[in-house]
Amino acid sequence: MPKISWNSYKAINAFDEYVTSENKLRSESKKISNFIGKYSTKRLLTTVKNSENAISQRGITFRVYSEDKPADHYWPLDIIPRIITKKNWSKISKGLIQRVKALNLFIDDVYNEQRIFKEKIIPKKIIFESGNFRKECLGAKPPFKVWANICGSDLVRDINGEFLVLEDNLRVPSGVSYMLENRMVMKSVFPEIFTKQKISPVDEYCSKLFSCMRSLSKNKKNPKLAILTPGVYNSAYFEHVYLAQQMGVELVEGSDLFVENDKVYMKTVGGKEQLHSLYRRIDDLYLDPKVFNKKSLIGIPGIFKAWRKGNISILNAPGSGVADDKVVYSYVPKMIKFYLNEEPLINQVETFLCHEKKQRDYVIKNISKLVVKPANESGGYGILMGPISSTKEKNDCIKKIKKNPRNYIAQPLINLSTSPTLINNQLDPRHIDLRPFILSGANNYVTQGGLTRVALKKGSMIVNSSQGGGSKDTWILDI
């Protein structure tokens, strides 16, 4: 039976994580590629089938909406892992912690002293016009001055192999359960490789999240923790259930909670039980109908006041999304210098702000070369890929920019790095990104790697699962 051949695998016009531009295996990928190279095509395809069976048996699904109808799909995992050296990851981790520290100081400053406006580092108007600015949060002081306790920053690797931050997700970042499940599946189909290679574990995430939630609670002896879900129809419901089970905490909906004397209680068969720390997986606007969206049926009336009084900690804190804005993203290097007096340890993608006339004119003139993004969308929605878009799509986008310039930014198209992926029984390069998760409470923690997402369509740069993307297990290798 023929084997999968690395000789026929060719890197395209991008930084490939397994082979050099001369199509020679990189030192960090040799051990894994040699291991896979010993598999016959039949054995490798059997391994793929085993991974699919494991995903099915474990019930690993994600939900997409088509014409407003939900449909559950099994999670797509490619069995060729993504490799990053431990030395390289150590530098990235330090850069991510630095970045999230600055972002949290920025959010705290916006809702309190507003020094960054007084020093004219960021125009006040930009922040107050953000769709995620919550004036109700002015004067609030969460524990440790940390607002975004869970951050999922999206990283890409450019043509030179440099990691860059593409965006920061500070509202309700998702995907960590898939990172953990990917590892469980890979261990089940490649058990021998995990006994022979020094692959950094990822399974401590849930215990770190549990510790983070405890550190935010006023009740230090026996705090009651819970995860708030909008319910079974949410696209990330699998993750809500998974995290609650792994941490041994309650999974609750808004109807399971109530507020009394500015304290939040959970309904139980034994009566009411006070809640001290809540990881919410619903948007700010639906959290408390007394404060935000009065029509919300999934929130808890009065919880915002209880949070303001310090009687419950909410992860992420209401208002933290003010930094989850692609316009605000462009100012993060300045934040790092302003709040930490440091140079950024990890770079980000050059960004053009359409609300500034000179930059807007440049974007409109060069729209065929750029990627245009709405400031507050997620999941790959609303993006214009200039180099591959039609004339009509570009003209429509220009109209939107002119109508609401504050809502748009543009970036040069980063030719995302590629990694070998099993396509039609052959190894083929596919573009990838990476979402590591950063926890902030009494301490900071960065996952060992993260969720690698893959654009399964040839040449595509859209990696989101909702847009047809897949995933890989990310191996931080000590070589």
User: Taking 70 as the threshold, does the pLDDT of residue 361 lie above it?
Assistant: yes
Alpha-carbon distances, residue 231 vs 206, 226, 285, 293, 366 (angstroms): 21, 14, 16, 18, 43
State the pLDDT at residue 2: 64
CA angle 52, 54, 60 (to 5 degrees): 85
Determine what percent of the chain falls in helix, strand and coil, rounding each to the nearest 5.
35, 25, 40
Distance linking the first and last C-alpha atoms of the chain? 32
The answer to whether 414 and 172 have CB atoms below 8 angstroms apart is no
**Angle between the 205-215 and 176-189 helix axes, to the nearest 10 degrees?**
150
- The pLDDT of 387-414, averaged and rounded, is 94
- The pLDDT of 30-57, averaged and rounded, is 90
Amino acid at 221: K
Scanning 62-175, the segments in alpha helix (DSSP H) are 86-110, 115-118, 124-128
State the pLDDT at residue 66: 64
Structure confidence at residue 201 as a pLDDT band (50, 70, 90): very high
User: Six-digit token pair at 53?
Assistant: 């069976």
Domains in the chain: ranges and CATH? 350-412 (3.30.1490.270)
Scanning 340-437, the segments in alpha helix (DSSP H) are 357-365, 391-403
The answer to whether 257 and 304 have CB atoms below 8 angstroms apart is no
Distance CA 455, CA 428 (A): 12
Short-list 332, 352, 350, CA closest to 342: 332
Structure confidence at residue 410 as a pLDDT band (50, 70, 90): very high
State the pLDDT at residue 241: 96
State the pLDDT at residue 116: 97
For residue range 326-337, list pLDDT tens digits in order. 899 999 999 999
- The pLDDT of 26-36, averaged and rounded, is 90
User: Taking 80 as the threshold, does the pLDDT of residue 5 lie above it?
Assistant: no
User: Taking 90 as the threshold, does the pLDDT of residue 38 lie above it?
Assistant: no
State the pLDDT at residue 262: 98
Alpha-carbon distances, residue 139 vs 13, 145, 284, 313 (angstroms): 50, 12, 17, 16
State the pLDDT at residue 376: 74
User: Six-digit token pair at 65?
Assistant: 């909406």
State the pLDDT at residue 450: 97
State the pLDDT at residue 63: 78
Distance CA 167, CA 329 (A): 7
Q: Mean pLDDT, the chain, as a whole number? A: 93
For residue range 86-99, list pLDDT tens digits in order. 999 999 999 999 99
**Which residues are paired to 62 by β-bridges?**
73
Structure confidence at residue 13 as a pLDDT band (50, 70, 90): confident
User: Six-digit token pair at 41?
Assistant: 């095509």
Specify burial of residue 57 (Cβ count, 10 A radius: 0-12, 13-18, 19+): exposed
Structure confidence at residue 419 as a pLDDT band (50, 70, 90): very high
User: Taking 60 as the threshold, does the pLDDT of residue 47 lie above it?
Assistant: yes
State the pLDDT at residue 459: 86
Short-list 304, 348, 276, CA closest to 103: 348
For residue range 138-160, list pLDDT tens digits in order. 999 999 999 999 999 999 999 99
For residue range 219-261, list pLDDT tens digits in order. 988 999 999 999 998 889 999 999 999 999 999 999 999 999 9
Structure confidence at residue 72 as a pLDDT band (50, 70, 90): confident
**Which residues are paired to 264 by β-bridges?**
259
User: Taking 80 as the threshold, does the pLDDT of residue 402 lie above it?
Assistant: yes
- The pLDDT of 90-112, averaged and rounded, is 98
User: Six-digit token pair at 58?
Assistant: 């474990």
